[in-house]
Structure 1
């Protein structure tokens, strides 16, 4: 039973003269500067620092254990439960905290560019720059009359610190989702990305009920309406590779796949900008202008130093999608003709590109292998191998099988080509080899999307069973087979077998998978 959403306390907060509504971007920037929340760079971007929390804090994320959703949540280390009583007590404390502030910021927006599946959102923030971030990342325009979804409310109070012993949290920080109350409660962390990912988690719960597959992927399309999806965890290149002068951007991170096609869940982009350069990523570079937000980028004399990791490697830029010149607005397009699975392989043994069979596509989607990159999450200081189901396990409230089965059905019905692309290391593991050059990755992706790899000669990797093209326009032949790029072949063989073993051990948890899918992975060593 809903007891909070229409509460007098929330209504008083929203109706208070100290709560300002629907401020424009210039007004929010001005207030952030007056409050000394950040500084302007020479391009007009608002530069801010998020303090201790420079990335998501997954151990501090909870879902309220409520009767209507109890049997639908995949409870465990990712989806940790918190009681209704504990949530309500903390909710009251946060609202009391916000009531004491001289000013609060409130606006409405949407998630989901397709009006049929839009989620109305009200977001309340303590910081002006947090509100600017939300305004740029969520969709501003929508039509609540076309959706059957009741609105969600984000209540964000970064300066409220929880007491774990009293408040039932893991630390001072918390991100709590109540599906019955339609509330997202955030506190103790200044990392603005928690708002974005909390809404994505909500959409991952809601959309399957409408037979829509929510996806952690970027998407673009060409003049012929041929859409491509790019799956991958943070730092694997979704934003970079989907921003192309030759294709129109649908969105850089979160999408839904309905019977009508693809739609962007967001209204903005949240790009990693470590080592950003105008030469390699001109669209992102030029998007960082007035109204955009730079998180934890070192700034000196008004100039951003994108190469510095003094604050974190997880430096970020948030900007509206219309800052990309060829963006599709509204962000809707037809069903995809190609899917790219992106992985940043820290071991340096996966091929730079390989074409997957349908069974291999399901295997690698369920596996979701990549390396967590430094700074993406608290406590990650160097790349670590990880398996994140559906390339987005931290954001999946339901079981992996829910999403994997939906993807398999859509790949089958639309006969979509699927490729695995390694944007990680070549010539050796992290610390010995080098990161794959962006221009080579772009060339491989372009060849895949243009159909140039459909009929080319391939060789089969003897350990991973992947079909590797022997040539690709714009890419040195010796890079296409990762073993050829290593000087020490024995070291490559040993490292590849070690990674293959990790794949096999990880996949044992998917005992539901069909035999053909299980056999699509690395060979048993």
Structure 2
């Protein structure tokens, strides 16, 4: 019997197979096991492997070039255009592919703030992908579900492989976003994170028109009500550092900053778990239980996870509802942030582990978005690669960078937020020579920044980068704070620092409409 499924706008799709509408967590796991999509671990989590694609495919992501959005998009290597006719062809092909298959539907929201949230529908070929969507997006109450009308639809068909000659794509994989039709098509990849990040891109387009700054950051809240933001790309520590037993977790990756405060765009967390241990990250460790989705984690014959293994990928992941973290703030909202931390994984090993930024330096480093892409987060990345990701989230920003930067600058000024740069990368030498910064030290520095005790330290401007390094920090050796002192060869440090400074300067030349005060806040040689 045919079933008509409302997609978005006035679009419907016809499905001849069984349509599983809004199954519970238990029902989805039962379906996924029955369909042999994965297996349960010893803690009850569901583990699936994603085949040859174990990270995002940024070169296969497209925005449909439609009249209503054309002049608002920053077209280029991140926002690749797709002709509407190509998208329509793909939409028809995907619908025909799914027509005779069982599909799984989840209805929910992007956004914990009712004023600014987006009603979603996610249609999946795989039961475990639908479980992922259920855990990562905001789940509706019974009352909200009764009147739910999707305004954006994700259709994920991993088994549909595009033919570049026939379908107009670059490869067999595609993530195609139509902001006019309000549909996202995903095919040729089993990596579930594409659903999450494509909706984040949509929110990065929609929210600025509502006066809301979308942010690639985690957020938490202290016992006295203070809110903190942690900006950074994948692998820099957003999830780890925001999961603090002494603070309430608001969210681990995507947030909006409105006129009333901060809100989580998601309803779950997507933690990297390579090297995960109960000792270092107990909250994440204990969240991996029944209902959690593990991706590409090695299991032994008893179903015990080996988080040290990268047999499938370095980019092993755990997806779980945010309320799996004890004391998480539900709903995920907070006040205007008192403290903002920019997280970078510096593979050069020359940036200090923490430094205070002036407002101008904050804007410079936000626009620069310097970090190192870590192994596995994108296809083809096998070791850290230096990158400048504008606003610490360039892969997900449809609009020009200045739109987001101007909004952040205005909000920092209005609410007098303190801003720090935190290096969670290498110390004592570059990648391959030095060591990754100890998590215990990073936690101690972040704690001092959040409780205000770091403000009592003396600060010394770095001679190259100009940022202000504290002379001391509780529970952190003073030599660790000065990166040059951690190198065996100070001259080698100077050469590396100069090399990174030159890269900063070269990257910043593209921001031609930035004032001198911000431009001069960068490294000086």
For Structure 1 versus Structure 2, the TM-score category normalised by the shorter chain is over 0.9
**Aligned residue for 1:74?**
74
Q: CA deviation at 1:183?
A: 0.2
**Aligned residue for 1:111?**
110
Q: CA deviation at 1:460?
A: 1.5
**Aligned residue for 1:30?**
30
Question: How do 1:220-259 and structure 2 match up within 5 A?
Answer: 220-259=220-259
Tell me the SS of whatever aligns to 1:52: coil
1:262 aligns with 2:258: no
1:203 aligns with 2:203: yes
Asked whether the equivalents of residues 119 and 148 of structure 2 are also in contact (C-alpha less than 8 Å), the reply is: no
**Aligned residue for 1:276?**
276
Question: How do 1:416-455 and structure 2 match up within 5 A?
Answer: 416-455=417-456
Tell me the SS of whatever aligns to 1:116: coil
Residues 335-385 of structure 1, C-alpha deviations (whole Å, 9 max, x = no match): 000000000000000000000000000000000000000000001011010
Asked whether the equivalents of residues 53 and 189 of structure 2 are also in contact (C-alpha less than 8 Å), the reply is: yes
Asked whether the equivalents of residues 4 and 181 of structure 1 are also in contact (C-alpha less than 8 Å), the reply is: no
1:127 aligns with 2:126: yes
Q: CA deviation at 1:6?
A: 5.8
Unaligned runs of 5+ in 2: 1-5
Question: How do 1:327-476 and structure 2 match up within 5 A?
Answer: 327-476=328-477
Q: CA deviation at 1:12?
A: 2.1
CA distance in 2, matches of 1:82, 1:420: 37
**Aligned residue for 1:217?**
217
Asked whether the equivalents of residues 463 and 496 of structure 1 are also in contact (C-alpha less than 8 Å), the reply is: yes
Aligned residue pairs: how many? Answer: 518
**Aligned residue for 1:163?**
163
CA distance in 1, matches of 2:222, 2:149: 32
CA distance in 2, matches of 1:43, 1:453: 40
Greater mean alpha carbon deviation, residues 247-256 or residues 459-468: 459-468
Asked whether the equivalents of residues 7 and 121 of structure 2 are also in contact (C-alpha less than 8 Å), the reply is: no
Residues 282-323 of structure 1, C-alpha deviations (whole Å, 9 max, x = no match): 000000000101100111121100001111000000000110
Asked whether the equivalents of residues 54 and 378 of structure 1 are also in contact (C-alpha less than 8 Å), the reply is: yes
Asked whether the equivalents of residues 119 and 149 of structure 1 are also in contact (C-alpha less than 8 Å), the reply is: no
Question: How do 1:52-71 and structure 2 match up within 5 A?
Answer: 52-71=52-71
Q: CA deviation at 1:150?
A: 6.3
Tell me the SS of whatever aligns to 2:138: coil
Asked whether the equivalents of residues 120 and 144 of structure 1 are also in contact (C-alpha less than 8 Å), the reply is: no
Unaligned runs of 5+ in 1: none
For the aligned residue pairs, the C-alpha RMSD in angstroms reads 1.7
Q: CA deviation at 1:45?
A: 0.5
**Aligned residue for 1:496?**
497
1:479 aligns with 2:480: yes
Asked whether the equivalents of residues 217 and 255 of structure 1 are also in contact (C-alpha less than 8 Å), the reply is: yes
CA distance in 1, matches of 2:180, 2:288: 38
The verdict on how the C-alpha distance between 1:117 and 1:144 changes in structure 2, with shifts beyond 3 A counting, is farther
Tell me the SS of whatever aligns to 1:408: helix
CA distance in 1, matches of 2:471, 2:337: 26
Residues 101-134 of structure 1, C-alpha deviations (whole Å, 9 max, x = no match): 1x11012010000000110000100000000000
The verdict on how the C-alpha distance between 1:321 and 1:272 changes in structure 2, with shifts beyond 3 A counting, is same
Tell me the SS of whatever aligns to 2:454: coil
Asked whether the equivalents of residues 40 and 46 of structure 1 are also in contact (C-alpha less than 8 Å), the reply is: yes
CA distance in 2, matches of 1:378, 1:100: 31
Asked whether the equivalents of residues 118 and 144 of structure 1 are also in contact (C-alpha less than 8 Å), the reply is: no
CA distance in 2, matches of 1:471, 1:322: 36
The verdict on how the C-alpha distance between 1:77 and 1:188 changes in structure 2, with shifts beyond 3 A counting, is same
**Aligned residue for 2:287?**
287
Tell me the SS of whatever aligns to 2:154: strand
Tell me the SS of whatever aligns to 1:133: helix
Asked whether the equivalents of residues 17 and 103 of structure 2 are also in contact (C-alpha less than 8 Å), the reply is: no
CA distance in 2, matches of 1:348, 1:394: 24
Tell me the SS of whatever aligns to 1:117: coil
CA distance in 2, matches of 1:124, 1:83: 23
Asked whether the equivalents of residues 50 and 296 of structure 1 are also in contact (C-alpha less than 8 Å), the reply is: yes
Residues 189-225 of structure 1, C-alpha deviations (whole Å, 9 max, x = no match): 0000000000000000000000000000000001211
Asked whether the equivalents of residues 107 and 148 of structure 2 are also in contact (C-alpha less than 8 Å), the reply is: no
**Aligned residue for 2:522?**
521
Q: CA deviation at 1:100?
A: 2.2
Asked whether the equivalents of residues 460 and 470 of structure 2 are also in contact (C-alpha less than 8 Å), the reply is: yes
**Aligned residue for 2:3?**
none
**Aligned residue for 2:311?**
310
CA distance in 2, matches of 1:352, 1:402: 29
CA distance in 1, matches of 2:381, 2:509: 26
CA distance in 1, matches of 2:201, 2:8: 19
Q: CA deviation at 1:24?
A: 0.6
Tell me the SS of whatever aligns to 1:453: helix
Residues 13-51 of structure 1, C-alpha deviations (whole Å, 9 max, x = no match): 3xx561110101011111111111101100000011000
Asked whether the equivalents of residues 56 and 194 of structure 1 are also in contact (C-alpha less than 8 Å), the reply is: yes
TM, length-normalised to structure 1:
0.97
